[in-house]
């Protein structure tokens, strides 16, 4: 992607700091130019100055500098980061040998930067990046598919992202599921998922939720609620993984929504964790004594796939809260930021619309 124009370029002012360089014919940075860049950096020239000297785009020079950076030690074993032309040339040759035919992404730096930002900073998957571009009609010079993007990342085409930045590597063959036991021995009084209506099973009606907890290294945890039809997410930080903490969240939601609570939370499906076993307390209204505010269902033991939407949501949350992370350190603002990100994340199943789009 280190490409340039052979023709005289025309710089058009588009506003402060927004120059565009027009040119049609492009070629890669040469080995001779890499040694010039190394020399210019030694005399403290900036990337912008080097670009002007070589007749290159500034972003091309910045990318080349990033490619050729390496750590060197002096005689006192002090480390410093420097650009070496031979390092840049070696990485260029390795990428060239891996890429095969010409890259579709070509000299489209704008698309490359968009992809790198979405994956590196906004924690999108490659499929979500490509899907959102199509769904929103974002325009770039070139178009690539999800498979091509994965291949580019695999072969190290991008300077700022690699497979280490992907939340989950490309999916292989999905494993089969086998139910281990039909009844949870410690929850024989819980209402089984087998009693759910067809409307719940088919996701035809809004208001049916799945619920689970995401744990870390501290006492606190996150209560995650996923609406089955829209994939709307609600996330709450609990001081402890306990029945009283879960019940307190539902009480708070009922006080907030009052009479609309039964419409918004028609049912909740969860696993057989100890924090969810007080079914009657979870269902009982805190505003209307003796009345049921929702209906609870319990999945079969060792059958997380029966709460598939919830499990997918938990994987998304792990991009921000990896296993072993102390959830006690999360502020309410941090939790709200994760929830907002999830509700604005594009889903393939909705044609890359978000949960917010589906509930608008």
Domain range summary for the chain, segments of one domain joined by +: 1-96, 100-170, 193-359
Residue 6 has pLDDT above 50, yes or no: no
> What does the H/E/C string look like for the chain?
CCEEECCCCEEEECCCCCEEEECCCEEECCHHHHHHHHHHHHCCCCHHHHHHHHCCCHHHHHHHHHHHEEEEECCCCCEEEEECHHHHHHHHHHHHHHHCCCCCCCCCHHHHHHHHHHHHCCCCCHHHHHHHHHHHCCCCCCCCCHHHHHHHHHCCCCCCCCHHHCCCCCCCCCCCCCCCCCCCCCCCCCCEHHHCCHHHHCCCCCCEEEEEEEECCCCCEEEEEEECCCCCEEEEEECCCCHHHHHHHHHHHHHHHHHHHHHHCCEEEECCCHHHCCHHHHHECCCCCCCECCEEEECCCCCHHHHHHHHHHHHHHCCCCCCCCCHHHCCHHHHHHHHHHHHCCCEHHHCCECHHHHHC
CA distances to 25, 37, 88 from 51, in Å: 17, 9, 16
CA dihedral 215, 218, 219, 223 (to 10 degrees): -30
Helix axes 58-68, 47-54, angle to 10 degrees: 110
pLDDT at 224: 98
Residue 23 has pLDDT above 60, yes or no: no
Mean pLDDT of 209-238: 97
Sign of CA dihedral 328, 247, 235, 221: positive
**Tokens 């420097």 label which residue?**
82
Q: Is the pTM higher than 0.85?
A: no
Mean pLDDT over each residue of the chain, to the nearest integer: 86
How do residues 314-345 score in pLDDT, each as one tens digit? 999 999 999 999 999 999 999 999 999 999 99
pLDDT at 98: 59
Return the CATH superfamily for domain 193-359: Ribonuclease H-like superfamily/Ribonuclease H (3.30.420.10)
pLDDT at 101: 53
pLDDT at 305: 92
Q: How confident is the model at residue 170 (pLDDT cuts 50, 70, 90)?
A: low
Gap between the Cα atoms of 41 and 84, Å rounded:
10
Neighbours of 221 (CB within 10 A): 23
Mean pLDDT of 140-155: 90
pLDDT at 121: 92
Residues composing the chain: 360
Of 58 and 212, which is predicted with more confidence?
A: 212
Mean pLDDT of 231-258: 97
How do residues 112-121 score in pLDDT, each as one tens digit? 999 999 999 9
Of 22 and 49, which is predicted with more confidence?
A: 49
**Structure-token pair, residue 141:** 């010079």
Residue 290 has pLDDT above 50, yes or no: yes
Q: Which of 80-84, 286-290, 305-309, 326-330 has the lowest mean pLDDT?
A: 80-84
């Amino acid at each position: 992607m280190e490409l340039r124009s052979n023709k005289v370029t025309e710089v058009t002012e588009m506003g402060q700091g927004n120059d565009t360089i027009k040119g049609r014919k492009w070629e890669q940075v040469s080995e001779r130019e890499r040694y010039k860049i190394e020399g210019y950096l030694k005399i403290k020239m900036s990337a912008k100055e080097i670009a002007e000297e070589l007749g290159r785009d500034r972003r091309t020079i910045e990318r080349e500098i990033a490619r050729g950076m390496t750590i060197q030690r002096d005689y006192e074993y002090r480390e410093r980061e420097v650009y070496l032309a031979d390092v840049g040339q070696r990485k260029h040759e390795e990428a060239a040998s891996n890429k095969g035919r010409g890259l579709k992404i070509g000299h489209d730096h704008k698309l490359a930067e968009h992809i790198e930002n979405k994956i590196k900073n906004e924690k999108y998957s490659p499929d979500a990046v490509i899907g959102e571009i199509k769904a929103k009609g974002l325009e770039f010079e070139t178009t690539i598919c999800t498979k091509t993007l994965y291949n580019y990342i695999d072969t190290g085409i991008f300077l700022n992202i690699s497979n280490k930045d992907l939340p989950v590597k490309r999916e292989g063959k999905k494993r089969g599921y086998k139910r281990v036991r039909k009844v949870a021995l410690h929850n024989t009084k819980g209402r089984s998922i087998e009693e759910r209506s067809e409307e719940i099973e088919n996701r035809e009606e809004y208001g049916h939720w799945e619920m689970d907890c995401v744990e870390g290294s501290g006492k606190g945890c996150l209560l995650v609620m996923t609406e089955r039809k829209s994939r709307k997410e609600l996330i709450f930080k609990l001081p402890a993984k306990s029945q009283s903490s879960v019940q307190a969240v539902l009480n708070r939601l009922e006080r907030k929504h009052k009479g609309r609570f039964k419409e918004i939370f028609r049912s909740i499906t969860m696993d057989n964790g100890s924090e969810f076993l007080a079914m009657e307390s979870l269902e009982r209204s805190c505003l209307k004594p003796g009345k049921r505010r929702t209906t609870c269902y319990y999945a079969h033991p060792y059958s997380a796939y029966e709460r598939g939407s919830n499990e997918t949501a938990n994987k998304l949350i792990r991009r921000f809260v990896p296993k072993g992370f102390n959830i006690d350190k999360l502020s309410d603002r941090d939790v709200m930021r994760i929830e907002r990100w999830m509700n604005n994340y594009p889903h393939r199943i909705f044609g890359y619309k978000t949960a917010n789009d589906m509930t608008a």
